[in-house]
Amino acid sequence: AQSVSQHNHHVILSEAASLELGCNYSYGGTVNLFWYVQYPGQHLQLLLKYFSGDPLVKGIKGFEAEFIKSKFSFNLRKPSVQWSDTAEYFCAVIGNAGKSTFGDGTTLTVKP
Amino acid sequence: ETGVTQSPTHLIKTRGQQVTLRCSSQSGHNTVSWYQQALGQGPQFIFQYYREEENGRGNFPPRFSGLQFPNYSSELNVNALELDDSALYLCASSLGQGKNSPLHFGNGTRLTVT
């Protein structure tokens, strides 16, 4: 069975601090990995995705994520956060059957 | 391009009733997925429709059913509503049914069952 675990439920940072949000997944086959973001009052939107190739993927707004197969991880990073990054972040896995599994999300609060 | 739209935005129903939620997919997308998001949790996959047929289902009972129409819009029907069905219901459209297709989400329908 697919599962996704996001260890940090709520992260509070000051502007310019570095960010790393953890995501671990379990799945027996090849997966595609995604990070979605939900800004206050908006719908979920794609931040970045990994299908294959270079395990370090870059997304919008300076975010990046690294796929480490041996650790079943896909952690999200940003070197310097901004107040506008305040949002909820979801890691998701899609397996071969097209079924998607989301983590429970991490709420990021960036203090100005 | 027109994004994913869902209706209604909010709904209050009584336990035992039936409800229909609607979703218009993003222009050009042929696949629709439905999710249930309870407070404090991530979206839980209910099912996916591709070319008017159910194509994958999560761990939801048969009283959760759906339809997809030739224009790729979709409905989610829930019969015999229970209190635990109170949640945000999200629709997402994508181009293709496979795992390479990022999801484009609507704003959701907030269902409250009393």
Write the pLDDT tens digit of every residue in B95-112.
876 667 889 999 999 999
DSSP A80-110: S--GGG-EEEEEEEE-TTS-EEE---EEEEE
The pLDDT score that the predictor gives to residue B1 is 58
| Residue at B107: amino acid letter | N
- What is the rounded average pLDDT of the residues B80-86? 98
Most confident of A20-24, B38-42, B49-53, B91-95: A20-24
Q: Chain B: give the shortest CA distance to residue A80, in Å.
A: 26
CA B85 to chain A, closest CA, distance in angstroms equals 18
Taking Cα atoms as reference points, which of B55, B35, B45 lies closest to residue B109? B35
Query: What mean pLDDT do residues B45-64 have?
Result: 93
A25 and A31 Cβ atoms separated by less than 8 Å = yes
Integer-rounded Cα radius of gyration of chain A: 13
pLDDT tens-digit profile of A5-41? Answer: 998 999 999 999 999 999 999 987 788 999 999 999 9
One-letter amino acid for residue B45 of the chain = F
Residues of chain A with C-beta less than 8 angstroms from the C-beta of B56 = 97-99
Identify which of B44, B101, B105 has the shortest CB distance to residue A44: B105
pLDDT at B91 over 70: yes
pLDDT score recorded for residue B5: 96
Residues of chain A contacting residue B43, judged by C-beta atoms under 8 Å apart? 44, 90, 102
Tell if the CB–CB gap between A44 and B43 is shorter than 8 Å: yes
Q: Is the pLDDT of residue A89 over 90?
A: yes
Q: Is A29 helix (H, G, I), strand (E, B) or coil?
A: coil
Q: What is the pLDDT of residue A96?
A: 66
Note the pLDDT of residue A1. 75
Question: With contact defined as beta carbons under 8 Å apart, do B56 and A98 qualify?
Answer: yes
Ordered alpha helix ranges (H), B1-114: none
How close does chain B come to A82, measured CA to CA in Å? Answer: 24
Between chains, do A100 and B100 touch, taking CB under 8 Å as contact?
A: no
